[in-house]
Amino acid sequence: MTSHSRTPQPAPLGNWPTPLEAMPRLARSLGLGADDLWIKRDDLTGLGGGGNKIRKLEWICGTALADGATHLVTTGAAQSNHARLTAAAGARLGLGVVLVLAGTPGSSAAGNLALDGLFGATVVWAGDVRGAALGAVAEQVAGRLRDRGAVPALVPFGGSSVLGARGYAQCGRELLAQAPGLATVVVAAGSGGTMAGLVDTLGPARVLGVHCGAVADPAGTVSALASGLSDTTVEPGSLRLRLDQVGEGYGALTEPVMAALTRTARTEGIVLDPVYTGRAMAGLIAAVEDGDIVPGQRTVFLHTGGLPGLFGHPAALAAAEAELTVGEADLTVGE
Ligand SMILES: *Cc1c(COP(=O)(O)O)cnc(C)c1O
């Protein structure tokens, strides 16, 4: 290695390895063996309230620091977990953070957005734009920062570049050590980097992605990222992707998702979010129902975080409140 080589190094931001825990009561409620279903706690990565973006941000921020960055600029929805964790990473590393968010001011100040404020991030509202148009606004913001003498680093949507996905190749290695004999890991697929990194380590046959409606072409997105990580092409058709949990779209709450939230909370005391992990669990339940996941094999559910998003989602909060039992204790509890 020469002094000019630019091997990227991750910036330490999280606590590794994250725990792997059993979910025996949820397993039994689904007709699986008590030992068949496990949960990988990537909601417990630590910094900023936790979540899967921390693994990607370690690589992206490490490279940004090596490049002399003074600011991080990224994009997302108003309730973006990725934006919130980028804000936390910037605070930890002493970098300024600008969040270019889809939407208009005043729409909501709850959930992730409240935390963005605590972490000291600057928000630029981009209006009703998505995809490349949102990225274009981020480029303009970065250009203005450069004009003023700053060194901005553009963090890709969801932290999903080949560099960021390296963090999930590492998560796959943790799973190989923690869950020998793993048959399937179930993961929410948003911007795709999480699934792509797992596919790189575990192969496409052991990773079941549940599309959340964040990108137009999930198979193409994941296959491009996974191919970028490896020497071989990962064909879109080789990926296990469920497309049946999107419903009315990314931000909309569905009945199977709300059922998954209450079932997981009541059997295991684990909270999921309405956009990502709730869809992933609804997809896992559907996969048990249609025989894609079977008893006697080890399944791991990847908890990717997102709890603040629950508190920024009025429909999910109203549905949760409607679940509240008031009055005499229910004698069937504990069944
Ligand atoms: C971003 C996110 C995901 C999806 O991860 P991608 O790498 O974008 O596919 C899943 N769960 C939560 C809570 C997230 O914030």
Task: Please tell me whether residues 154 and 172 are part of one structural domain.
Answer: no
Same domain, 33 and 74: no
| Residue 126, φ and ψ in degrees, nearest 5 | -95, -5
Residues 94-133 pLDDT 10s: 999 999 999 998 867 899 999 999 999 999 999 999 888 9
Report the C-alpha gap between 321 and 46 in whole angstroms.
28
Q: Could you give the 3-state DSSP secondary structure of residue 101? A: strand
Residue 303 lies in a domain: yes
Same domain, 258 and 301: yes
Q: In this predicted model, what pLDDT tens digit does every residue of 237-276 receive, in sequence order?
A: 999 999 999 999 999 999 999 999 999 999 999 999 999 9
Domain final residue, candidates 132, 159, 186: 159
Same domain, 252 and 299: yes
Tell whether pTM > 0.85: yes
Report d(CA 195, CA 165) in Å as an integer.
8
Active site residue ranges: 80
92: number of Cβ within 10 Å: 16
- Lookup result for tokens 């399944």: 299
Q: Could you tell me if 278 and 186 lie in one domain? A: yes
* CA 137 / ligand 1 centre spacing (Å): 22
Q: Which domain range does residue 242 map to?
A: 20-51+162-321
DSSP strand pairing (182-189 vs 298-303): parallel
- Asked if residue 100 is part of any domain, the answer here is yes
Q: Is residue 2 part of a domain?
A: no
3 state DSSP class of 180:
coil
Same domain as 59, residue 98: yes
Do residues 65 and 138 share a domain?
A: yes
Q: How high is the pLDDT of residue 333?
A: 62
CA distances from 26 to 23, 151, 281, 284, 331 (A): 6, 48, 11, 11, 20
> What's the confidence (pLDDT) of residue 1?
40
Angular region, 238: left φ>0, alpha ψ -120 to 50, beta rest: alpha
Q: Tell whether 197 and 303 lie within a shared domain.
A: yes
Token code pair at residue 155 = 């963090």
Partners of 302 in beta bridges: 40
Distance CA 28, CA 295 (A): 10
Cis peptide leading into 8, omega within 30 of 0?
A: no
Specify whether 238 is located in the same domain as 169: yes
Whether residues 301 and 197 fall in one domain: yes
Q: Which residues line ligand 1 (CB under 6 A)?
A: 51-52, 81-82, 158, 160, 188-195, 273, 276-277, 304-306
Count of positions (residues) in the chain: 335
Burial class (CB in 10 A: 0-12, 13-18, 19+), 171: buried
Contact assessment for residue 182 and residue 175, using Cβ atoms and an 8 Å cutoff: yes
Q: For residue 334, is it within any domain?
A: no
Which residue has the CA at smallest separation from atom 15 of ligand 1?
A: 81
Last residue of a domain, one of 98, 132, 159: 159
Six-digit token pair at 166? 């390296």
Asked whether residue 65 falls in the same domain as residue 45, the answer is: no
Q: How far is the CA of 158 from the centre of ligand 1 (A)?
A: 7
Best CA proximity match to 175, nearest among 207, 142, 219: 207
Give the type of residue at 326. Answer: V
Q: Calculate helix-pair angle for 277-289, 255-268, nearest 10 degrees.
A: 90
209, part of any domain = yes
Which residue of 157, 194, 222, 270 sits with most ligand 1 atoms within 8 Å of its CB, as the best mutation to test the pocket? 194
Split into its structural domains, the chain has a count of 2
Task: Give the residue from 140, 159, 178 where a domain finishes.
Answer: 159
CATH for 288 = 3.40.50.1100
With a cut of 50, which residues of the chain have pLDDT below it?
Answer: 1-5
Query: Residue 319 corresponds to which tokens in the numbers above?
Result: 């549905």
Same domain, yes or no: 253 and 267: yes
Domain contains 327: no
